[in-house]
Structure 1
Amino acid sequence: MSKRSVSAALRSGALTTVAVLAFSTTSAAAFAQDDPTTTTPPAPTETSAPPVSEPPPAPSPARQDSVTGVLYADKNRNVRQDAGEAISGGAVTVVGNSSEFKTTSDADGKFAFRDLAPGTYRLSYVLADGWVVHHAKAEGDLITVVANQTAEVAARAERPYSEQLKATATLDHPKYHQPSTATIALSLTNTTDRPISGIQAACGRDGSAHALGRGEGWNVLKGVKLEAGETRKFTIYEQIPLAARGSVKLDCDFAPNASWNTDGPSVHGEAAVSGASNGYTMVLGQDRNADGHIDADEDIAVEGYSLLNPRTGEKIVRRNANPGGDGKIELTDVPSGDYRIELLGPWTFRDFGQDLVRITEQGGFRYGFLKPTGPAKVTGTVKFEKPRYESHETVRLDLTITNVGGQVVEDVRLSSEPYALNIPAEQWGDFGPRGRGITLTAGESRTFSVSGTIRSFGNSLLGFWGGIDYRSSDGWHFGYHDFGGTVEVVLTTGDLTGVVYVDRNRDGRQDAGEAAANAVVEANGGAPYGYFKTTTDSDGRFSFKDIPTGGYWVSYTLPDGWIVHLEGELQQTRVEPGVATQVVARAERPYRERLKATVVLDKATYALGDEAQVTITLKNTDDRRISGIQVRCNPLGHGNHLGGSGYYPAPPSWGDLRPTSKGVTLDAGETKVFVVKEPVPIAARSSRKLIVTCDFAPNPDRNTDGAHAYDWASIKGGGLTLKGWIGQDRNGSNWFDEGEGIPNTRIVLLTDRENGFPVVEAVSDAKGNVRFDDVPPGDYWAWIDGPWKFEGERGHTSVQDNNLHHPYFFSVVPDLSRTSGPGSTDGAANGGSSGALAKTGASVLGLGVLAVLLVAFGLGARVAGRRKTF
């Protein structure tokens, strides 16, 4: 058979191949390659037979390589051999067929075993500097030696698993009383930058009878995968071995294929064991991942429980002394027998029959799977990534919210953003305070992994807490302190320095003579929050030394009206430890000195339902272009204004002037006119006034020195109706009660307490009820006829759309200085009327007409003369 046919037969499986750690063909440079190859010596060539008189010499025995290989340290972890990775002097042992052979790798990492009898062998390695060849297979990576063939091995060494993994484990008690169950808190961390798969636990390798690590609870550690940098925590429940006397030990190590790879991190725990009395342990929780176990984040600490013995009627009630602990309950010192267990609080057993417990002398253990019951209730738990942070660090945490009630809840969201951390809104998603809300079924949990910089902390502790709002069948629930957690914070400090200059020649950089001396610089922020203030020196420089790290808002106040404008998104200046943060503040003249604006309404009077048209004129009085001009109207958010408000941007009709648009550009000396239309807001009805007041500048939300423009118009429409009572508050209740009314008494509403015009009047009925019709909205002072008067501010009333839902109490007291009018014998007791309004010169019959004319004239006169102010 030729060499080519031999190779083809090998690749097609016609010849036997070898199972090894990694197959390769060793090149002249001793590098491990990808394709496995088994070589066979060439067949001998036929020759002529020697003469009979000269017999051929006896052939020398041939030396056959049974196993060859190369040993390398995979320093760059790319799973192949590279230059400089060969291991010289590595001890290699092969064991099989009741024989053991040893050799050492050469300078190229190569080794060989010759003339091995056919059979199955196992290779092992002892390397310097802690390097380890790990076993990838459960049977220990066997190789097969076949006669006249060479098995080739590429042995890849890596750092021990103890350097790649970190493990911690603790027992929940220093002493156990038999029978009992131990709770083991285990944590595994992948400290590398690559995933590690197939991690297992190997416990009690010495086979001791008092060793933990053999219970079913350890099944959660079959083939665990940890991503790069990931930490996973496990809670394992294991019954103390009955054979344990005096002590119990936990000795485990962790690695992929831990049966063969013994170089993983190890943990040790030890506790005393005493007694041998009755006992039973149950771990309660929700099996949310349906794996038949109660995992670390699934246990539930119930409020308590009661045990009922149906045969004897005996009942044992126990409260949970540690409601924030785990879900384990130990039924120790309970007589043997059958019991029914009833849980206290909003939980019950998920499966039929799980509430039955049989306690014997041998003790016992089991899980109790729960489901919620009772009304809806949402709570949360907080777990920080680590136990301590420095104040400049980003804090990462998990917030797990759970519906612990028995009903579905909807519209679940944060009541408000937790103040202690600056967490971007998008991290919360629909669960955020402004989100759509999420839905949780009974017992369901959701975990939000969020992170943010520290905003506030005190006494070296950061408190992260908040409330949860949700809706259930019985209505809305508004939370206050539904979750919370604290973590230690170590204060770090840094420096904030900078320079302020006035850009007189407007070239965008500081030149000689442009330093801004005596400018006030204020910095607000840091963690914990602080306020700092200083003044620039003659060179325009300032500094804040050793201030808390974190984000700061920095503002500047310069002499002579110079302004440091804010461009783009408003961002905090970060102060970090060990490095001085430097800022440069460029000041320029206010926008109002370079930009002029007017706004003009198309009418002096509007009716509700009309469409108002606003003409906006912008003029650039500068010799340079101004770009990105936007509008900001109604900063206080009044309802009778046009152009949006300080909280909501202008409507779409304002086009490119809106803060959400690109803005308007004006070249030097250019004027542009814009016309926008908006419906008259309903809120203008109560004030009877429509207003447009706006500022124009680049980024006007932050730069408040823009050009200002203002206009207004009146609103026409019908008057309002005010109902109430006239009475004397005899019992001091500050409210009108039966029998306190003053009948048949005239009351007038004036525009001013002393010199106002009468606007409308009414006369009370027999019980003191009074009604005013067609009252224009506004503020009024009441005048009452007869021997009565208003004390203090009681005669003042405001008539608006939004305050007419309840009757108004005109509370008066006797006025001994006044007498009743003609025709009345007892004004104080029976009401009455007089000519007391004669001093105003108004007749009663013409009162309403006169008021309307005066109000209308006053408004009209204002409208006629107001536009020349711009």
Structure 2
Amino acid sequence: MLGIGALATVAVLAFSTAAFAQDDPSSTPPTPTETSAPQSSEPAPTPSSEPAPPPVVTAAATGDIDGVLYTDKNGNKQQDAGEAAPDVELMVSAKGAEHRTTTGAEGKFSFHDLAPGRYDATYWLEDPWIVHRVGSDGDLITVEPDKTAQVVARAERPYAEQFSVSASLDRDSYRMPATATVTLTFANATNNKISNIRARCDHEGFPNALGRGKAWNALVTNGVSLAPGERRSIPVTEVIPEGAGRAGNVMLDCEFAPNPDWNSDGVWARARAKVSSSTNYSMVVGEDKNADDRIDGDEAVSGVKVVLLDPKARGQVSEGTSDADGRIEFFGVKAGVYRAAVLGSWGFSDAGQEQVEVTEQGGFAYGLLKHANPADVRASAKFGKQSYESHETVTLDLTITNVGGKTAEQVKLWGDVTVLDVAPEQWGDFLTNRPGIRLAAGESRTFSVSGRIVDTWDGELVVNGELHYLGQEEITSGYRAVADVVETRGDITGVVYADKNGNGQQDPGEAAPEVLVEASGGATHGYLTATTDANGGFTFKDVSSGRYWISYTVPGGWLVHDEVNPGPITWVEPSAPAHVTVRADRPYSELIEATMVLDKDTYMVGEIAKITITLKNITHREIRGVQAGCNPLRHQDQLGGVRGPMPEGWGELRKEAAGVTLVPGESKTITVTEPVPDYARFRQQVAVGCSFAPNATFNHDGPWALDVADVLVGLGAVQGRVAHDLNHNGVVDPGEALAGVRVLLLTDKEYGLQVADTLSDADGTVRFDRVPTGEFWAGIDGPWTFEGEAGHVDVRLDEVVQRDFFVVPAPRATPPAEQHSGGSKALARTGASVLGLGVIAVLLVAFGFGARAAGRRRTS
């Protein structure tokens, strides 16, 4: 495994480097090559009969950067008169060190005495000029000892001004299984050639998104080049993913730009279409005018929106809108009982129709409608008193009333009440991020809450906001309440100590003087500073009462850790001073050692990565609640979560969990798991980088550990369980999995060449790794066989296809390898993966089967 120092580099703006700097617009310098690395300006060595002695490089040797920045106004990709970019601020950075300068009158800049290494450059040009990145490494500048790297930075107009891309699907709706053809139309709006326009499709976390199939290889890796003024349409055909059937729609969401991994000013192309699944729940809605309890052709009502709600989780499961025939199809609904809610000016004629039962096979129902006034929720708010002192606890009554003709579903606050410190449990399901409540027609409900004042405005406490409910057509539910606030004042006192012996209490000699204390808050939102005295004490006298956040800057590398979420809060009242005792500790990076290792050098997208983490307590005291803080820059090709909760596979190290306890001197090894994210295919790498500390959400000073592995593209994998489906329900039930069964992967059902084999483990699981994409057939070596098409295997690009292998007893136990391969040697015999991938590719091509071999691609 290799570490990745690039994780610490934040790319602020795009940039490019060139081989030579131009000294003067009127001179004739060598033509810069923007895709090449910066080169040294040292003269070539003079031929000699004796070899020159090697240069002496001391440990303190440094290097320089000389460059020129220009705006390519005529787009000819070279600097001409009048194109110099003066007075532009720029920065180069490496390993946390930043160096800044400003370009001179001719756009020239220099950096001297730089430590050797690879530097990232950032240019702050006036919009909309951008220095694009050309190289796959972002055009990092290599600084070598006693040499000068030459850089030409060419700024140009945003890509969104240079070309356009539109996308359209061949149909407005699809029925699964289906294939979609996306037509991409490119148009070059410039008088210059634009090369290598590549696609970066945003399907991270979207199972219904296109842009990941084999047909996209050329657009993702090679790109499209457009001649000046050229307009070209490119069709891309892709199998619609299964997730689109569950979501009810398929979408394309891709950005196009040269080197889109680094340049974010490209053109977005989007398209969307409806998708119906072969396994769904259907409903036909209409007005039963002849009262025959069914919907005849002339009774169907189109444009009616119906949502299915889970009565237990109280969340929305699916939704649909009736077509011209009154038909609504709900996709991806699991078997169970749901409540159907009709939105808008229609409602069910019988309340009993609200209950919907979906079986494993789906289902169907008629929805008999009647006209109804939509739900209409109004709100009003009232304080318990007309005037409060700023330290008092305030009472608030928020009353909501449904004045419409139908039940309002999922009624909730639209934005929290932030001017009061109200405990979330007082709002219950009415809170913004909760499921909401039901409010029947004519029903009224009052929420009585209380909390201390957090914020005032010109001597007033103002509560205002809106409500939200399902099917809300317009905002009519605003509320507002105002009360006068009389400011009161109080004191804050405290003491800061450095816990040198780590016993959690202040002992003689541990007072922390010269600590900068910063406090912000209060009813009037003040900002205060103080410095601790020789005894570590500080005081804020006569400050506005209310809530304060206090931070501490302790000399000597000591830190005041946040022990709880969201950190320490101090409330000030006039009756008595608020006193705080603050414990400073050494950084967790000095208390804990951490290592982290991925279980493989190479993965595929979707494959489960196992990460072995070793934490060691190097102190003489117990450390509780150690969590992992991963992927701080939220890169989509990294493990540890991008946004929202951390993946479940991180167990007790998740920020949402209790954390890991380490007794003095203890070393503990933890294995966590997470699928390799889709976005890793673009970088062809997956990385994991985390710091480890108690309360890792707020404490970022823990030891840092990281690892990186390659990601194979152009291949696929298959994983599933071998089972005898005794009850024919299509599910591997207890007792049906088969262990120790040898499963073969063949190139053809009847006369196929064996590609790989594996044995099912104790729970029947088999896996084929790193298989060329395409259609294959599974065979069984033993007293089992497949019926019909059950052995068909579709290996998809960069995906781990999940499927189960249902078998039946074979009439005779002749190994499939002997039947199909004519006794020839198998391409690979494996435990649980394909070996000798290069050989497989060659042989498959020789036998007429397409295959793409992918090997390790590693950079250090």
Measured against the shorter chain, the TM-score band is 0.3 to 0.5
Task: Give the structure-1-normalised TM-score.
Answer: 0.39
| Higher-RCO chain (CA-CA 8 Å, sequence separation at least 6) | 2
Task: Give the structure-2-normalised TM-score.
Answer: 0.39
**Pair member with larger Rg:** 1
